[in-house]
């Protein structure tokens, strides 16, 4: 049984990211991807040239990755349904997250991870 998901918890949504990598020409052979959950059921998310969650501007949405290859973009503005989560990694500006592949469903999340130790730096 999976632990309960909540905003701020980290998830593994590798299957969606692996599929996205394949569409960009990669093999899709990626390790587990840990992504914090920034929004969940009932939250309003909008992806245009930036990510907005519940009316708060969160981050830019890039057109291409650091390698110059165009990134996919999930272009919607809507309320997340039951069982939908929005993964976003604020520490990595060009992270491949829900800004590019859309919401993650409960079934696509392998587990929930908690940090054991966090650096103050």
Is residue 100 situated within a structural domain?
yes
Continuous H helices in 10-107: 14-23, 98-101
Number of domains forming the structure of the chain: 1
Is residue 115 situated within a structural domain?
no
Is residue 117 situated within a structural domain?
no
* Residue 88 and residue 36 in contact, taking contact as beta carbons nearer than 8 Å: yes
Question: What spatial distance separates the first Cα and last Cα of the chain, rounded to whole Å?
Answer: 34
Pairing of the two strands 50-53 and 77-79: unpaired
Sheet containing strand 44-47, strands side by side: 56-60, 50-53, 44-47, 77-79
Please give the residue range of the domain that contains residue 73.
10-110
What are the pLDDT digits (tens) for 16-26?
Answer: 566 666 665 66
Is residue 75 situated within a structural domain?
yes
Is residue 91 situated within a structural domain?
yes
What are the pLDDT digits (tens) for 52-97?
Answer: 999 999 999 998 877 787 888 889 999 999 999 999 988 887 788 8
Is residue 97 situated within a structural domain?
yes
Is residue 3 situated within a structural domain?
no
């Amino acid at each position: 049984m999976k632990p309960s998901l909540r905003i701020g918890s980290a998830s593994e949504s590798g299957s969606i990211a692996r599929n996205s990598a394949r569409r960009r020409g990669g093999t899709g052979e990626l390790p587990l991807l840990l992504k914090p959950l920034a929004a969940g059921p009932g939250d309003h998310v909008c992806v245009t040239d930036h990510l907005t969650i519940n009316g708060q501007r969160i981050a830019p949405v890039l057109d291409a990755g650091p390698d110059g290859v165009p990134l996919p973009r999930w272009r919607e503005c809507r309320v997340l349904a039951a069982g939908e989560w929005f993964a976003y990694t604020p520490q990595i500006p060009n992270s491949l997250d829900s800004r590019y592949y859309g919401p993650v469903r409960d079934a696509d999340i392998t587990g929930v991870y908690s940090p054991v130790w966090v650096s103050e730096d």
